[in-house]
Amino acid sequence: MDKPYNNKAWFLVVPVFALVALSAIIPIMTVVNYSFQDTFGNNQFFWAGTEWFQDVLSSDRFWDALGRNFMFSVIILAIEIPLGIGIALTMPKKGIWVPVCLVTMALPLLIPWNVVGTIWQIFGRADIGLLGYSLDQLGVNYNYASNIFDAWATIILMDVWHWTSLVVLLCYAGLVSIPEAYYQAAKIDGASKWSVFRYIQLPKIRGVLIIAFLLRFMDSFMIYTEPFVLTGGGPGNSTTFMSIDLVKQAIGQFDLGPAAAMSLVYQLIVLSVCYVFFTVMSNVGVDKPDARVED
Amino acid sequence: MDLSWMAWTVPTFLFWACIIGLLIGMGVWEYFSPGGNPRVGILHFETTRGDRLFISLLGSAFIHLAWLGLVGPNLWWALGVSLIYAIGVFRTV
């Protein structure tokens, strides 16, 4: 069936475009403008050229925060994606337990980020928190406020607890949409559980996995609230991620120019990594019978 | 309407005018040659001319940053390198 093609349909996008213009394009234009200037408030700006960008590129503070961001994203993706797929595979496909599992899984997602930070802040305390107290009783010297390893472990555990559900729900939606005929064909062929996963389930949930991967990468790369509430970027600067550093610079120190330059570099990195991930993941394993090679 | 908080300057205005001009140009190009000219280039995946513009702009930003960090603040050379890079992207990617 031929679909009618009408360019006037683009007018339907105008309201979204207007909203995006207000919420994204105008702020980003302003950030670009600020990144080349200095201000002392009162909307008075002084041209600074590329000075702030040079400062950012030569500052250890920026590179350290960037390194921490990448390390955090890699760790949580390495945990959440396999764990999410694993949990989704064990969830029931039909029956009374389906809604129970889905609601249980959705619960952490419903909790606001700052509340998650507060929950884990109390949970990890050795005097009143269940986790901190239990570890203390077991003889483990655990203190997320003074030990770098403990702070990182707590933040990672907190993120896994908060966001694995998202991966689970996305994978589960992908898994339940696989037609039963595939499983029947696999059964006839005598396929093992691993083969079913490798050749039926994994390729079929590839689309939702891309979304889960990208969402989790972007979210984790831009993480702010939870570590800010839990550790405030400490001990020292060990959990100061780029967003925390950015807020310290822009709002704490009111250095709008350097903060704007830093946020632009930050945004470029996010944009590039997301584009690479998206392109790679949407091209891996895709046959291209109609791919056109231009002469 | 007071827009002084946006802190417009001539150079940043020219930058945005170029970006908007490029987007309008791409729109006009698409009007006369619809379909985006998809093809598989040296990166071994299908790109349209919109993708190629995106790769050019993103790459140019990094070229400018690298020039600033490694060479110095005279960015006219970086602009030249970026233009050559963009032509390369549009011809080969």
Query: Is B16 near chain A, with CB under 8 Å?
Result: yes
Which residues on adjacent β-strands are paired with residue A45?
A39
Query: Lowest-confidence range among A238-247, B36-45, B58-67?
Result: B36-45
- The 10 Å Cβ neighbour count of residue A22 is 10
What element of type H or E holds B40? strand B39-40
Give the mean pLDDT of A84-94: 92
- The backbone torsions φ and ψ at residue A147, rounded to the nearest 5 degrees and listed phi first, read -105, 125
Report the b/e string of B36-58 with b at 16+ CB within 10 A: bbebebeeebbbebebbbebbee
Q: Residue A213 is part of a domain; what is its CATH number?
A: 1.10.3720.10
**Min Cα separation B86/chain A (Å):** 16
A289 touches chain B (CB under 8 A): no
| Residue B24 burial (CB count, 10 A) | 10
Specify whether B25 is located in the same domain as B51: no
- Among A5, A7, A53, A60, most B C-beta atoms within 10 A, so best to mutate, is A53
Q: How confident is the model at residue A289 (pLDDT cuts 50, 70, 90)?
A: very low
For residue A263, what are the domain limits?
24-58+253-283
In angstroms, the separation between the Cα of residue A283 and the nearest Cα of chain B is: 7
**Residues of B whose CB is below 8 A from A265:** 65
Going by C-beta distance under 8 Å and a sequence separation of 6 or more, which residues neighbour residue B44? A283
Mean pLDDT over A267-283 rounds to 83
Q: Give pLDDT tens digits for A107-116.
A: 999 999 889 9
Shared-domain flag, residues B66 and B49: yes
B84 and B53: one domain? yes
A114 and A168 assigned to the same domain: yes
Closest chain A C-alpha to B26 CA, distance in angstroms: 16
User: What interhelical angle do B10-32 and A26-35 show, nearest 10?
Assistant: 140
pLDDT value for B27: 92
Match 């940053």 to its residue by tokens. B65
Q: Report residue A96 as tokens.
A: 């009374």
Q: Is residue A163 part of a domain?
A: yes
Amino acid, single-letter form, for residue B90: F
* Domain membership flag for residue A290: no
Number of Cα atoms under 13 Å in the Cβ half of residue B70: 8
| Whether residues A40 and A97 fall in one domain | no
Q: Which of A224, A223, A209 is nearest to A277 (CA)?
A: A209
Tokens of B87: 């032509």
Phi, psi for residue B87 in degrees, rounded to 5: -60, -45
Same domain membership, residue B46 and residue B26: no
CA dist A225 and B72 (Å) reads: 36
DSSP character for A123? H
Do A34 and A145 reside in the same domain of the chain? no
Averaged over A264-288, what is the pLDDT? 79
The pLDDT of residue A68 is 93
- Is A284 an interface residue toward B (CB < 8 Å)? no
Residue at A119 is within a domain: yes
CA quadruple B19, B25, B31, B36: dihedral, nearest 10: -60
Convert the pLDDT of each residue in B32-55 to its tens digit. Answer: 988 888 888 888 888 899 999 999
CB contact under 8 A, B54 and A275: yes
Q: What are phi and psi of A170, to 5 degrees?
A: -65, -45
- Shared domain for A49 and A128, answered yes or no, is no
- Same structural domain for residues B30 and B42? no
- A214 touches A277 (CB < 8 A): yes
Task: Please count the structural domains in chain B.
Answer: 2
State whether B74 and B52 are in the same domain. Answer: yes
List the single residue in B7, B16, B39 with the smallest CB-CB distance to A45: B7
The minimum CA-CA distance between B67 and chain A, rounded to whole Å, is: 10
pLDDT at B19 over 90: yes
Whether B90 and B58 map to the same domain: the answer is: yes
Segment (H or E) for A53: helix A51-57
Asked if residue A141 is part of any domain, the answer here is yes
Note whether residue A14 is domain-resident.
no
Same domain, A279 and A133: no
Q: Residue A38: beta bridge partners?
A: A46
**Interchain proximity A50–B73, CB inside 8 Å:** yes
Residues A271 and A125 in one domain: no
- Is B81 found in the same domain as B68? yes
Looking at the structure, tell me whether residues B24 and B43 fall in a common domain: no
A81 and A223 housed in the same domain: yes
Query: Which pLDDT score is estimated for A287?
Result: 53
Domain total in chain A = 2
* Rounded Cα distance, B75 and B71, in Å: 9
Indicate the pairing of strand A45-47 with strand B39-40. unpaired
Domain containing B24: what range?
1-34
Same-domain status, A231 and A265: no
Task: Report the share of chain A in percent with pLDDT over 70.
Answer: 95
Query: Which residue, A254, A193, A266, is CA-closest to A224?
Result: A266
Chain B residues in contact with A36 by the CB 8 A cut-off are: 9, 11-12
CA distance B25 to chain A (A): 17
Average pLDDT over residues A267-288: 77
Backbone angles phi, psi at A37, to 5 degrees: -135, 170
Burial zone of A264 (CB within 10 Å; 0-12 exposed, 13-18 middle, 19+ buried): buried
B42 with B73, same domain? yes
Residues A42 and A98 in one domain: no
Do the Cβ atoms of B12 and A43 come within 8 Å? no
Q: Kindly list the residues from chain B whose CB atom is less than 8 angstroms away from the CB atom of residue A53.
A: 65, 68
- Contact list in B for residue A260 (CB cut-off 8 A) is none
Q: Evaluate whether residue A272 is within a structural domain.
A: yes
Local structure of A128: helix, strand or coil: coil
Same-domain pairing of A165 and A196:
yes
Residues A85 and A168 both lie in one domain: yes
Whether residue A202 is predicted with pLDDT greater than 80 in this model: the reply is: yes
Q: Does one domain contain both B4 and B19?
A: yes
pLDDT score of B2: 75
Residue A33 vs residue A8, higher pLDDT: A33
pLDDT digits (tens, 9 = 90+) for A135-182: 989 988 888 888 899 999 999 999 999 999 999 999 999 999 999 899
Assess whether A75 and A103 both reside in one domain. Answer: yes
Residues B81 and B44 in one domain: yes
Q: Residue A87 corresponds to which amino acid?
A: I
pLDDT for A295: 40
**pTM for the full model?**
0.80
Does the pLDDT at position A201 exceed 80? yes
Segment A228-239 mean pLDDT: 86
Q: Residue A291's pLDDT is what?
A: 42
Whether the upstream peptide bond of residue A235 has omega within 30° of 0, thus cis, is yes
The pLDDT assigned to A67 comes to 93
